[in-house]
Amino acid sequence: MKQRSQASAQPRAVSLPLDKETLLHFLNKMILIRRVEEKVAEIYTRAKAGGFVHLNIGEEAAIVGAASSLADRDYLFTSYRDHGWALVKGVAPRAVMAELYGKATGCSKGRGGSMHLFDSKVRFMGGYAIVGGMIPIATGTALAVTYRGTDEVAMCVFGEGATNIGSFHEGLNVAKLWQLPVVFVCTNNLYGMGTAVRRASSVSEIYRKACAYDMVAERIDGMDVVATRDACLRAVERARKDHEPSLVELVTYRFRGHSMADPARYRTDDEVRWWRERDPISSLEQKMKDSGMLTQQEIDDIEAAVSRVVTESVQYAESSPAPGLDDLYKDVYVQSEGQ
Ligand SMILES: Cc1ncc(C[n+]2csc(CCOP(=O)(O)OP(=O)(O)O)c2C)c(N)n1
């Protein structure tokens, strides 16, 4: 019988067993997410982007570690906190930025905005605003893969708040019962809006919930990109080769409020400081420097290259056209009369 709920309750220590090229790739992506998100915060404050905006700042290691365990042909589903996930799955930064601006060149043609990024070409399947709403859809995609007899994997990402929702339990049950190639990834950032996990969930170590479905589960330090990548790679391989679903809990922290509208007064300064000292980007930089794999000049070069990408993506979004009025009638389930 497969071992269940393998991890200890304690997140693991930061590790560095990979080659320089791979680690530089991770660092690059993490810095890209951070700088894009900072720019998004700025444009939102200047009222260039509408609706709600939820930032990934602080969660970059979880995102890069998990998404880099996927092959191009694999599917990725996530929540409204989706900018970083879209970028790592291969959605162009300019298409993400244009979507935030509501422009026709956005990855969802300007109709989705921040919470509904989507690009089926790179199998980035959204961007869902309903908490837990992506779980049945990702599970259904894994069922479709099984019917087709191909070897893709569906990764389904959600916050710990979603694990109290019915669809989480329905999804895990069916995934295990039908042996579907799906990896459930819970980014446990310890708060669902302003509510601490221990006040909302009878079990605050989320990975333990998988035992109800006899599912393999691990709890990982989601501030450690390498440990995250390793755990997700194990889960992806289990799904691909054995059609064995898993739940991976990534313990992480969002440095900002729930959304741009949230001043985050429900957390103490000490708590936020404790987590900021574990910033996933500076931790990786320091580890790489300490082991002689990275110089300050290399960091400066990455920052400069990322800065150019961010500037270009904003220029692209600013100069792109808004969707035309005719677009109102396109891509809807039922076309109106005469269309
Ligand atoms: C079904 C449903 N209930 C309530 C909400 C309102 N809501 C939006 S985000 C959120 C908190 C979710 O927290 P979590 O799943 O931990 O994700 P995080 O925002 O921390 O990434 C809630 C309750 C919603 N969008 N959908």
43-52 pLDDT, tens digit each: 999 999 989 9
- Using pLDDT thresholds of 50, 70 and 90, give the confidence band for residue 101: very high
* Rounded CA separation 264/95 (Å): 29
Ligand 1, CB cutoff 6 Å, lining residues: 79, 81, 129-131, 158-162, 189, 191-193, 258
Beta partners for residue 59, in sequence order: none
Count Cβ atoms below 10 Å from residue 273 Cβ, excluding itself: 9
79 Cα nearest atom in ligand 1: 21
Instruction: Tell me, in angstroms, the distance from the centre of ligand 1 to residue 65's CA.
Output: 23
pTM > 0.85: yes
pLDDT in tens, 129-177: 999 999 999 999 999 999 999 999 999 999 999 999 999 999 999 999 9
E strand map for 22-145: 75-79, 124-128
Atom of ligand 1 nearest to the CA of 192: 13
**Residue listed under structure tokens 């891509």:** 331
Do residues 100 and 52 touch, judged by C-beta distance below 8 A? no
Task: Give, for ligand 1, the residue of 193, 197, 256 to mutate: max count of ligand atoms closer than 8 Å to Cβ.
Answer: 193
Q: What is the CATH number of domain 20-321?
A: 3.40.50.970
Q: Say if residue 179's pLDDT is above 60.
A: yes
Structure tokens at 80: 């409204």
pLDDT confidence of residue 5: 42
Output the residue whose Cα is nearest ligand 1's atom 19.
Answer: 192
Q: How far is the CA of 165 from the centre of ligand 1 (A)?
A: 10
Question: Tens digits of per-residue pLDDT, 106-136?
Answer: 999 999 999 999 999 999 999 999 999 999 9
Q: Which pLDDT score is estimated for 336?
A: 60
CA 322 to chain centre: 27
Largest Cα–Cα separation, the chain: 67
